[in-house]
Structure 1
Amino acid sequence: MNKDQKPQKPLPKSDMEVLKQYHQFVRDDEEDIDPKLSTNDDYGRMIARKYYDKLYKEYAIIDLSQYKTGKIGMRWRTEPEVLSGKGETICGNKVCTKDKELSTWELNFQYKENQEVKNTLVKVKCCNSCSQQLNYKKLHKQVKEYTEEEIRHLLAKLEEKKKKLKQEEDS
Structure 2
Amino acid sequence: MATQLINLSNILELHKRAKDTDALSQDIATFNEAFKQLDQAVETVNGRATAFTLSSRNILDLADEAEKWLDRHDMPKKSRVGVRVFHRPAGPSAKSYKFRATTTEVVIVRRTSGWFLSEIKRGSVNPKQGATTRYIINEATRDVIVRNALAGTEIKAAA
Tell me if both proteins adopt one fold, taking TM over 0.5 as the criterion: no
Query: Which structure is higher in RCO with an 8 Å CA cutoff and minimum separation 6?
Result: 2
Compare CA radii of gyration and give the structure with the larger one: 1
